[in-house]
Amino acid sequence: MGKGGQGTQDLEKKEVKKFSWDEVKTHTESKDKWLVIEGQVYNITSWARKHPGGSRVISHYAGQDATDAFRAFHNNLDHVKKYLKPLHVGSIAHADAQPDTLESDFRSLRETAEKMGLFKTNYAFFFMHLAHILAFEAAGYLVMRQFGTGWIPYLISLFCHGCLQAQTGWLQHDFGHLSVFQNFYNLDHFLHYFTMGFIKGASPHWWNHMHYQHHAKPNVMDKDPDVRVEALFVIGKQMPVKVAQSKKKSMPYNWQQHYWFAIGPPLLFPVYFQFMLFRHMYTRKLWTDLFAVSLFFVRFYFLYWPLLGWGIIPFYFMIRCIESHWFTWVAQSNHVPMEVKADESESWMKLQIHATCNVEQSFFNDWFTGHLNFQIEHHLFPTMPRHNLYKITPLVKSLCEKHGIDYQVKSLYTAFADIVQALRNGGELWQASYEQFHSS
């Protein structure tokens, strides 16, 4: 018998260690992290630091079943599974290994989506989207060069740049999720740097670090950075009580639905994001990101300094303010009014739908939100090209109805209004809880 046959026999004879879920759930510490994929147990303690998506996003599933998260984030499973082999320590005992009905149905839904070709890209769609972004870039510059810097051309230029930055934000989001070129991920990475770094002036690595965590555990306290907001706001039903119980009164949270308009959308991009992304690049020595961002500022300076002089500074921050309002209202409308809670190790589908809602479809809503009005479908299938999200919607709705999961769709106005209402509710709950804990 050849060596290959002998090796196979050796593998067959090798006993695979069996673990119960109770045992796996004990391996959640920074120096001892296990997770489960397709019933197999992996020790990711050392690998987490090398993980291309960042150590935190994979560590958030320590002690849990990461099967559907693993599938959602990776296009080429054969490639990434090679990295799993050295990490394998055993499998889940048979009695504990069977997925529940919802998990099985969701995995069947994904197979259906793949057979329907919904992960295949229409390259013309993304080419036209990039073309209209570059058209806004050209118009924003040429209108002031041709007609001067009076109020009318100035405001038109601001409008063009606001659209440019917001729409580039949606496009870089596609490249960041590797949803355009799929297995040719180097092209997605290159265009992510082009759009996020050169056109927007932000760090692609910083975006990946933050956004992948958000998708892995949306609206989960201490894991989703997008809801790590307790220094300024308290949302959901658990966070206000937790903050009140700590007896910290750093902000008048009962007024947060009012001061949101002053420090939320206006300052997120011009202040907070500017500080965080530069700190991220500097502390992690991300010289490629810093180079791409530097090219943005060099280009912006050479184009607009001759036209505006020192006026380039307020012009820049007004663009950031427009972009910030646009992004914040759209992004938060899908999440802030939804459940915000501690990690409960929910199945992938429940986790994503409990944390997201949709906005009604229309040509304007699709364009204005970058198709993130299909937030539910995007969170379930983050690598699906966004022009196909509406095609899977009826099947997702049907599955939700079967399992009694609330599938929410709102008008754009209602989605925005619900942000303010959620802040009001959170503030009132914090005040009632604070008074209760403080008086006792």
**Residue of 50 and 296 predicted with greater confidence:** 296
Structure token digits, residue 124: 């013309």
Structure token digits, residue 43: 């020790």
Structure token digits, residue 227: 């809801």
Are the CB atoms for 303 and 140 separated by under 8 Å? no
pLDDT band with cut points at 50, 70 and 90 for residue 4: very low
Identify residue 244 by its one-letter amino acid code.
Answer: A
pLDDT (0 to 100) of residue 318: 97
**What gap in Å lies between CA 295 and CA 299, rounded to an integer?**
6
Q: Residue 2 pLDDT > 50, yes or no? A: no
How many CA atoms within 13 Å lie on the side-chain side of 6? Answer: 3
Q: Residue 123 pLDDT > 90, yes or no? A: yes
Identify residue 233 by its one-letter amino acid code.
Answer: F
The per-residue pLDDT for range 418-427, each reduced to its tens digit, is 999 999 999 9
Distances (CA, A) of 66 to 109, 113, 217, 230, 348: 17, 20, 11, 28, 8
Structure token digits, residue 346: 């929910």
**What gap in Å lies between CA 408 and CA 353, rounded to an integer?**
9
Residues with Cβ within 8 Å of residue 206, at least 6 apart in sequence: 276, 277, 280, 281, 286, 289
Q: Residue 149 pLDDT > 70, yes or no? A: yes
Mean pLDDT of 20-36: 93
pLDDT band with cut points at 50, 70 and 90 for residue 379: very high
Percentage above 70 pLDDT, the chain: 95
pLDDT band with cut points at 50, 70 and 90 for residue 97: low
Helix or strand (DSSP H, E) at 40: strand 40-43
pLDDT band with cut points at 50, 70 and 90 for residue 58: very high
Q: Residue 13 pLDDT > 80, yes or no? A: no
Are the CB atoms for 199 and 356 separated by under 8 Å? no
Q: What are the E-state strand segments in 53-201?
A: 88-92
Mean pLDDT of 294-310: 97
Q: Residue 355 pLDDT > 80, yes or no? A: yes
What is the chain's mean pLDDT, rounded?
A: 92
How many CA atoms within 13 Å lie on the side-chain side of 347? Answer: 13
The per-residue pLDDT for range 179-236, each reduced to its tens digit, is 999 877 789 999 999 999 999 999 999 999 999 999 999 999 999 999 999 999 999 9
Are the CB atoms for 320 and 202 separated by under 8 Å? no
**What gap in Å lies between CA 194 and CA 124, rounded to an integer?**
18
How many CA atoms within 13 Å lie on the side-chain side of 431? Answer: 11
**Residue recorded with tokens 């500074």:** 313
Percentage above 90 pLDDT, the chain: 86
